[in-house]
A and B are shown apart, each in its own frame.
Chain A
Amino acid sequence: MLVSVFVAAVSLALFWMAAFTLWWQMHAWRTPETLAATRFESPAGAEGLSFSLLVPARHEQAVLEHTIDRLLESGHRDFEILVIVGHDDPETAEVAERAAAREPERVRVITDTHETKNKPKALNTALPHCRGEVVGVFDAEDQVHPALLAHVDHAFTATGADVVQGGVQLINFHSSWYALRNCLEYFFWFRSRLHLHAAKGFIPLGGNTVFVRTEVLREVGGWDPDCLAEDCDLGVRLSSAGKKVVVAYDADMVTREETPGTLVSLLKQRTRWNQGFLQVYRKRDWRRLPTVGQRMLARHTLTTPFMQAFTGVIIPLNVAVALFLDVPVGVAFITFLPMITAMVTFVFEIVGLHDFGRQYGLRVRLAHYLKLIAGGPFYQLLLAGAAVRAVWREQRGRSEWELTSHVGAHLVREEATR
């Protein structure tokens, strides 16, 4: 009897959470009107804003030049590029200086002299030097669409927003089984879920293609240099301060990126995000959100990685309980509820992969769908591993903090994009 009650309670809680996550994940496709509203509006009027684009680069001499060149192709008339390089990184600095010499009007180089380097510190270093009315952040390997700035400009002026978050999309779904799932995660996150967050007034921002009015950014003191998910943290602080955030996603206007090269680096990246989420949760800025619904959404979103890990373990256990233990049929039914939501999510992922292929003109083969299905449980394991690792690292606490100095290295390959 006690077992039955316990199992039923756990199942119902998981079902409740999984159902909400699914509900939010599918936000953009609720109605055709919702879907249409997630896009950028065509820039209709004159361009009124000036932009300062921050590009922190670390040991990225190979890709930086191309990125700057792409940014310079932008059709917008008023923008500057601030490349932030480390004082201990002459190779990257050289590439940046070269670009600045070529386009002295557009490109400046800012040197970050922090002893231990990470992305938020680099961004904070550049913030006082920004002349534009809007600060935009890109990573050194981003491919940015030339028309993006014009659209963002229009989004700011048309909506009066304080923040505009553009889409970021991993593209190389064919590289590996986890790349496939990673791409889809981005697709659902930027295509759909973030729009819900923007609408509800609580949003964990992405790490790049994010634009904030300079005065607003200075008002809140820039980025938190000690947070592993400084992007998420900034979003939470801005939401809590009641700033208006607009999200827009257009397949031809997203910033394209690639998944981490190896499973281990993906695991590390995810660990960092999860730990960052945990830090943001513990900072309690979200408690200042005005409504209960927003606070619930914040609590739910920031703890999702951990609940997700838990769900992955519990679902098979539950099914086993239902099939092999002698519990009443009603209770057995309840234990299947989380699995039902998981299966609906699964089906929507398959449809999402199809839509992803359509949107980006990529050919998705049967093998990819099969990989998506077969990879599901293993990816779940990876997520669970990252969640456990994040909790463990966070528990080992602040003394260990300085050891995360390799976070600086994340600027190289493990771009923060949430």
Chain B
Amino acid sequence: MTATLPPPATPPPGGTATLPPATPTPASVPVAAPAPAAQRPDKRRVTVRPTVRFRSSRPDLLLCGAVLVAIMVVQGWNIGDYPALSDDEGTYLAQAWAVQQGEGLAHYTYWYDHPPLGWMQIAALTWIPSLIAPDTMVVATMRIAMLLVSAVSAVLVYVLARRLWLPRWAAGVAMALFGLSPLAVVLQREIFLDNLAVLWMLLAFCLAASPSRHLWHHFGAGLAAATAVLTKETMLVVLPALLVTMWRHSHHDTRKFAVTGAITGCALIGFSYPLFALLKGELWPGAGHVSLWDGITYQMSRPGSGFLLTEGTGSHGALDSWLYYDRVLPLGGLAGAALLLLTLRWSVTARALAGPALALAVLTAVALRPSGYLPAMYVIQALPFLALVLAGGAASVAHAVLRKGRQRPRLVPLRRTAAALLAATALVYVAPRWYEGDRTAMTADANAPYRAAARWLDTRVPDPANTRVLTDDALWLDLVHSGYEPGLGAIWFYKADLDPAVARTLPGGWRDVDYVVASPTVRRDARDLPTVRDALANSEPVAVFGEGEDRIEIRRTRGTDGAEAR
């Protein structure tokens, strides 16, 4: 990996500097030399850019390494206990487990809800630990794998910042913003496909901004981008920003090959998903089988979560939850993006960061759809761009304060004081808030009820192998390790209503269920799921962990006596 090393915040326009042409001076041309040859401009000279190898730049390595250690400590400490286990984490990890077990892409029928590449990667990441200690294949433990993902992504943010000609300190700031913001800490700890997709997209941006402008680096950027999209399909909207970055960083003479190559590579890898469906005979809808078409139709027609800025909508709730953890990164980043896009004509930093700023603009526009569906993890894919743009904005401001205009020696102390004051203000504003947020992340225990529920189901149920439990996805792997039959013994609660293959095994509805683990997710979604609703209504809590909204109840259905009733 390489990073460029121009004077801070003053990248040459277009990022290029021209070597003096090597055409001979008239005096050195012998009289006999043919005129047309002597007058030909020397096309062998190309514009070159000052670059240093990132790997051999000690200050870069030290700074990047130091920030990385901080991020690893903050994100890794207490990773299993905070934040609360999410249903989606359970889903992806369970499907990764199914991949490891050789059961295909999921232990229930894979129905093209998302492209499977994401949890195939999770399966690969957790493969060796799960071989050594199969019981560790549960959400809380395997969050450790995400630490690796965070580490790589954070380093890529630093590399990308340097490749976009940010000065070293700003690259460090971008990396810190990306990895230490309480919002980032909470979200990046969780086993979300979005975190993996971000890694691939960052790799794509780094390759697109490769200082050597190598054809196959750009081709690789296309491949990485396709991988990102196949990891989490929402990454699709970021592709135009990647294209802009690649366009700006390619050379006029080789651009057409580089850019078409990248697009071709991206498209060909992308098409492998429909090809996969085609090979399985599941591209188009048909009786008796799932299809890619149905999966896409479902995702496109998911009920909207309302307008982002309307109070009381689901989207607004998601926004509130993001801002609860951190305001600096989302709001500061958006302001930075707006500033950069507005000053595109005048500011070299703005042009250097046009790609990330455009990515944010597109992501914001998508989030502002009046009636679209906005999941809580949506912000994850914006985090690196928010960090880069905010750091870029800071670099831009610093440059304006320290260097813009006439360089009068008299003003230097004044300029320096102003810059120091600005930096101190920012630090005073950010530090206490982040300290609070990160302290919570490193000390709070949000998952005690889950652990207790898992322990209860492990020790207090006499015959797990013949007991049927409706549970949310987060606890599912714990139950599987405790001996419940995966799929039809330990049942993802919504499959009881939505998967015909599961519903068929429950002819008596709730009467065929022994236990319901009523977590917040189960209680919330039961409204639309008749079997789960009935099971909740016809059951008594036998154990309750935690209290209030977040409590987890283990409920035994009426008229059954646990496993013995069957």
Chain A interface residues toward B at CB < 8 A? 23, 26, 29-33, 35-37, 39-47, 75-77, 146-147, 150-151, 250, 322-323, 329, 332-333, 336, 340, 343-344, 347-348, 350-351, 354-355
Does the CB pair B215–A31 fall under 8 Å? yes
Query: Which one, B248-256, B337-345, B414-422, is touching chain A?
Result: B248-256
Number of A-B contacts (CB under 8 A): 116
Give the CA-CA distance A30 to B216 in the complex, in Å. 7
Known: A30-B216, A32-B253, A332-B279. A43 touches B33 (CB 8 A): yes
A355 x B256 contact (CB < 8 A): yes
**Given A43-B37, A46-B30: A336 in contact with B264 (beta carbons within 8 A):** no
Give CA–CA (A45, B38) in the complex, Å. Answer: 10
Residues 213-255 of B, flagged 1 when their CB comes within 8 A of A and 0 if not, give 1111000000000000000000000000000000000011110
Q: Is the interface of A mostly helix, strand, loop or mixed?
A: helix
B37 CB contact (under 8 Å) in A150, A336, A351 = A150
Contact check, A351 vs B34: say whether CB atoms are below 8 A apart. Answer: no
Is residue B23 contacting chain A, with contact meaning CB distance below 8 A?
yes
| CB atoms of A347 and B275 under 8 A apart | no
**Is the CB–CB distance between A39 and B256 below 8 Å?**
no
A-B contact pairs, 12 of them (CB 8 A): A30-B215, A31-B212, A32-B46, A32-B252, A35-B46, A36-B44, A43-B33, A44-B22, A44-B29, A147-B34, A147-B36, A329-B280
B309 at the interface (CB under 8 A from A): no
Q: How far apart sit A344 and B262, CA to CA, in the bound complex (Å)?
A: 10
Given contacts A26-B261, A39-B44, A355-B256, 17 further A-B contacts (CB under 8 A): A30-B214, A30-B216, A33-B46, A39-B43, A40-B44, A41-B42, A42-B24, A42-B42, A45-B28, A75-B35, A146-B34, A150-B34, A329-B279, A333-B272, A343-B264, A350-B260, A351-B256
**Residues in B whose Cβ lies below 8 Å from that of A41:** 42, 44
* Set of chain B residues within 8 Å of A348, measured between Cβ atoms: 257, 260-261
Q: Please indicate the chain B residues that have their CB under 8 angstroms from the CB of A43 in the complex.
A: 33-34, 37-38
> Total interface residues on B, using CB and 8 Å?
44
Interface residues of B (CB under 8 A from A): 22-24, 28-30, 32-38, 40-48, 212-216, 251-254, 256-258, 260-261, 264-265, 268, 272, 275-276, 279-280
Structural contact, A29 and B254, CB atoms closer than 8 A: yes
A146 to B213, CA, bound (A): 35
Of B36, B268, B275, which is within 8 A of A344 by CB? Answer: B268
* Residue numbers in A under 8 Å from B216 (CB-CB): 23, 30
Query: How far, in angstroms, from A44 to B28 measured CA to CA in the complex?
Result: 8
Residues of B within 8 A of A350 (CB): 260
CB distance from B44 to the nearest CB of A (A): 5
Report A332 CB to chain B, min CB distance, Å: 5
Min distance, Cβ B14 to any Cβ of chain A, angstroms:
13
**Residues A351 and B46 in contact, CB atoms below 8 Å apart:** no
Task: List the A side residues contacting B261 at CB < 8 Å.
Answer: 26, 344, 347-348
Inter-subunit contact A32/B276 (CB<8 Å): no
Q: A347 near B279 (CB under 8 angstroms)?
A: no
Contact between chains at B44 and A29 (CB < 8 Å): no
Q: Which residues of A contact B212 (CB under 8 A)?
A: 31
